[in-house]
Amino acid sequence: MDVESRKVIVIAGGTGGIGRHIVDGIVAAKKYTVKVFSRQDPSSLVDMTVKGVIVVKVDYADRDLLVKELQGVHTVIVTLISLDDSCVQAQINLLNAALEAKVKRIAPSEWTGHHDENTVIELYRRLKVPVREKIKAAGIEYTVFMIGLLMDYFASPQTASKSIGSLVIGVDFNKCVASITSSGDEPFCLTRADDVGKFVAAALELDKWNENSGIVGSRTTWNEIIKLGEKIRGTKFHVQYTSADEAARLIDTMTDNVLEKLIHQVYLGIVRGEFDFEATLNNICPEIKPTTIEQFLMESWTDYQG
């Protein structure tokens, strides 16, 4: 396919986090012109531009600039992430500009589980639901990419990704301890960041997007993950279980640490089934073989000398 006939795909916020993995996945497919919207200067992102990625410095409050840069764009994938309200208006501005520029479809910045307006996750209710409602009302084709928990965090304090930092969630494989909400038998999904990029690239080939696109590396439980950890680390883990009611009361006392509160609400979301969903994109794209949690833990912790 010659460059002139390739569809142009915009990744808003594609310089870091999950966005960077999505950019890498689409670039590797060699089928699209990749354009990244960033608040950074393109001259500081030579590692991307050298691969042919077009980096555009944008101000999400500048409607005319957004409309101009979205001319001829087929799909917009949003990966803007924030713990405050700033990303809501940025996404709405991006949506309005996409509509004016006649972009075919858009994927909002969700990248978690299967949530709705009643989710226990406060930041989701405030930052993501309003954007999805605006997109639905606009009538543009869209999909919500559901990936569950990022598997990459389960290598912490090591880093398994060049753009996703270290963060212990639930199980600390370095200290061989775990803090689990409820029984630990509630199923949830995990996916490696690199695999998210591969599946999103494959989804671009679909003629029509469904409203939800499930991407799953493994469907597992905390107790199954702990058993794997014990086997790989060769020692019994110390596990503390907290009831869902106790966890909810604890969350109510958290006022200062937004990230800590978010993580504990995610634990409750797992108990309520918000991170358990069908692997719809896996079913559509069976040629992609994602990393399983067992493979990932073996890779990260076998012979670990930290």
From first to last of its 306 residues, the chain has per-residue pLDDT tens of 455 569 999 999 999 999 999 999 999 999 999 999 999 999 999 999 999 999 999 999 999 999 999 999 999 999 998 878 888 999 999 999 999 999 999 999 999 999 999 999 999 999 999 999 999 999 999 999 999 999 999 999 999 998 999 999 999 999 999 999 999 999 999 999 999 999 999 999 999 999 999 999 999 999 999 999 999 999 999 999 999 999 999 999 988 888 999 999 999 999 999 999 999 999 999 999 999 999 999 999 998 987
DSSP for 7-71, please give it.
Answer: EEEEEETTTSHHHHHHHHHHHHHTSEEEEEEESS-GGG-HHHHTTT-EEEE--TT-HHHHHHHTT
The reported pLDDT for the residue numbered 3 is 54
**pTM of this structure:** 0.96
Tally of CB atoms within 10 A around 175: 11
Residue 129's identity, in one-letter code, is V
Domains and CATH numbers, the chain: 3-142 (3.40.50.720), 149-190+218-274+287-301 (3.90.25.10)
The reported pLDDT for the residue numbered 197 is 98
Quote the CA–CA distance of 226 and 170 in Å, as a whole number. Answer: 10
The reported pLDDT for the residue numbered 162 is 86
Quote the CA–CA distance of 12 and 79 in Å, as a whole number. Answer: 6
The reported pLDDT for the residue numbered 82 is 83
Q: How far is CA 183 from CA 85, 102, 252, 258, in A?
A: 34, 49, 21, 25
What 3-state DSSP class applies to 74? strand
Quote the CA–CA distance of 182 and 202 in Å, as a whole number. Answer: 36
The reported pLDDT for the residue numbered 4 is 52
The reported pLDDT for the residue numbered 38 is 95
The H or E element spanning position 283 is helix 280-284
Half-sphere exposure of 156 (CA within 13 A, CB side): 15
The reported pLDDT for the residue numbered 128 is 93
The reported pLDDT for the residue numbered 226 is 98
Angle at 167 between CA 166 and CA 170, to 5 degrees: 145
User: Directed axis angle between helix 222-233 and helix 293-301, to 10°?
Assistant: 30
The reported pLDDT for the residue numbered 5 is 65
